[in-house]
Amino acid sequence: MTATQNRSEGGYVLAQTALLLIPLMIFAAFATDIGSWYVQSQKLQRAADAAALAGVTQLPDLDKAITEARAVATRNGLVDQTPTDNTDFDTGPLPQLEVTSPKAGVLEVAVKRREPSFLGRLVLDSIVVERFAIAEFTNDVYLGNPTSGLGTGTISPADLGMPNDQTWLALNAYCWDKQRGDLFASGFYSGPFAGGTRTCGPTPGQIATAPQAHPNPNYDPDAYVFVVESQPSSAPLDISIFEPGAGCPEVNSTNDASSSPRLHYRLYGPNLRTNHRQFVDTNSPIREGLLPTDACVANSPTGDGWWPVGQNLTVPGSDGGYYYLQLGTRNPDINDLDPADPFWEEIGINFFSLKTTRSGTSQLCAFTAADPTCPQLYALEWLPLWRELPSSEADFFLAEVPEGHRGSTMVVTLFDAADGVDNIQIADPSGRAVPFEWRYVDRSLGQMSGNGYFETDYAAHTATCNWAGSPGNPCLETRVYSNFNDHLVQISIDIPPDYTCGGDCWWKARYTTALAPGDRTVWAIAMTGDPVRLVE
């Protein structure tokens, strides 16, 4: 090879290298820009996630949800160029943010921003990065049944328009012992009576003649709150109580009509958000009253036993909303400590029912796909029940557990699960008795009596029936009455990760007994885990 040939080929290589340097430099520039775009897209995704999680907690008030989502996105560096226009996401100046609610309890946040090129500017000056997040708010589990009535006992299904639920709602008088099934409304435990003489009063000093009686450490006259949920596009609502009078013969025939407790009610609302307890505790009632002792069938306004406590209640907003009914048996004047006041002479239990109906109608409805405007009624935190057991096995609706709670743990707390019942099972929507663990929890909430107490009782027990009627089934074996009377028990149920309920998500409690007794008890349900989660 000659020197001339070497110089010629060297020039070729130099030219080729120069030509290749251009795309190589472009690729190197884009590699740097792509890394920057990736980092910025991750920041954008986090902003969308944070906005969706914050906004979804404001539902069903979509306006508040949008406001909260936009505020959080702004704090995370994304300022919408047209924040008052939610319709120009695809056409407006960047950056853009769109907040929508594709279905109840779900909020979708889409964000879009232009990211500049740096080293690759000669070829591409910028790109548009778009991200979205979908957050879901899973409501708490409430206690009730599929209809808009609660505790409808033995009321005629023809009058209700639906089957009754074979349970009565029930509240004890302040002077009726807590051991008779009411954790909160009773003022005492271990008996307010001495030698047959009533020795009840508003202060501990009033029970000096009954040394065995002690003030109930869990006494809370405002504990029982019922929620009425109004659906979008629903008609105005009425709320009514069946036979709230003291000693009404149809419901309260076992009580002394001259001394049974009267019901005092407070109605709150309207509310757009799901902060139920906070709303009740921080707002004044829109209506309240003390129902008369003769509020029975014969004296009811329409002769059917139902007494209205809220009428023609308008839907709170375009997305529905809530009203609340708080019931108690205390003196509404909490500063009246005169022991001669008639409230301190009332004893026994008041059995009653609740319903919410569309104004102008008297019959119940069920919230289904066929009737999406039917209002719903449920107990907020504690459900006070009287259950009459007509046979050896009886179910009653406990709570609706949507599929969004899959993988969580359902914690059922019940008080005084004893009277004449051999065992209690918890059944899933298919009717299967589910396995669970149980434990006493009186210690953490105030120990009230000494029956059956040992240190090991506070450990978890596997639920197993030894009773001949249900051998091997998971159950709380309550036939040893002294072990459960006047005690709080907590049941823990693991909801499977693949839990499905096919639209019918109602769980039940099942009583099994060789007798047909009545049981006065109080129930509560809570779910573990964060109710707010990202779906996508």
**pLDDT tens digits, 101-156:** 877 678 898 888 887 765 555 555 667 778 888 887 777 788 999 999 999 988 99
Judgement on whether residues 333 and 363 belong to the same structural domain of the protein: yes
Quote the number of domains for the chain. 3
- The tokens for 166 are 């074979």
Q: Which of 388, 412, 445 is the last residue of a domain?
A: 388
pLDDT in tens, 267-326: 999 998 878 888 999 999 999 998 888 888 888 888 888 999 999 999 888 878 999 999
Q: What is the mean pLDDT of the chain?
A: 79
Is pLDDT above 80 for 160? yes
Judgement on whether residues 133 and 278 belong to the same structural domain of the protein: no
pLDDT in tens, 302-317: 888 899 999 999 988 8
Judgement on whether residues 41 and 124 belong to the same structural domain of the protein: yes
410: in domain? yes
Average pLDDT estimate for 504-508: 92
pLDDT value at residue 448? 42
CB 153 within 8 A of CB 188: no
pLDDT value at residue 206? 55
Average pLDDT estimate for 246-254: 65
Judgement on whether residues 100 and 160 belong to the same structural domain of the protein: no
Is pLDDT above 50 for 449? no
pLDDT value at residue 284? 96
* CA 379 vs CA 70, 186, 212, 383, 412: distances in Å: 34, 19, 33, 6, 14
Judgement on whether residues 227 and 319 belong to the same structural domain of the protein: yes
pLDDT value at residue 255? 44
| CATH number assigned to the domain comprising residue 529 | 2.60.120
145: in domain? no
Residues of the domain holding 91: 3-137
Q: Which of 388, 414, 443 is the last residue of a domain?
A: 388
- The tokens for 532 are 């707010």
Closest CA to 118 of 30, 22, 27, 25: 30
Judgement on whether residues 439 and 453 belong to the same structural domain of the protein: yes
User: Under DSSP, is residue 22 helix (H, G, I), strand (E, B) or coil?
Assistant: helix
Judgement on whether residues 404 and 532 belong to the same structural domain of the protein: yes
pLDDT value at residue 536? 61
205: in domain? no
Torsion of CA 456, 461, 466, 467, to 10 degrees: 90
363: amino acid identity, one letter = Q
Lowest mean pLDDT across 18-32, 123-137, 244-258, 389-403: 18-32
pLDDT value at residue 379? 95
518: in domain? yes
Judgement on whether residues 275 and 378 belong to the same structural domain of the protein: yes
pLDDT value at residue 102? 79
Q: Which of 340, 363, 388 is the last residue of a domain?
A: 388
pLDDT value at residue 481? 62
* Residue 209 confidence class, pLDDT cut points 50, 70, 90: very low
Q: How far apart are CA 246 and CA 523, in angstroms?
A: 23
Judgement on whether residues 123 and 164 belong to the same structural domain of the protein: no
198: in domain? no
- Sign of the C-alpha dihedral computed for residues 152, 355, 269 and 63 taken in this order: positive
293: in domain? yes
pLDDT value at residue 354? 97
Q: How many CB atoms lie within 10 A of CB 153?
A: 21
Judgement on whether residues 246 and 383 belong to the same structural domain of the protein: yes
Q: How far apart are CA 321 and CA 314, in angstroms?
A: 10
pLDDT value at residue 199? 54
The residue ranges of DSSP E strands in 389-517, in sequence order, are 393-400, 409-415, 423-427, 437-440, 461-462, 488-494, 506-512
365: in domain? yes
Bridge-based pairing state of the strands 126-137 and 532-534: antiparallel
Q: How many CB atoms lie within 10 A of CB 464?
A: 15
199: in domain? no
CB 411 within 8 A of CB 526: yes
Judgement on whether residues 126 and 71 belong to the same structural domain of the protein: yes
Judgement on whether residues 49 and 14 belong to the same structural domain of the protein: yes
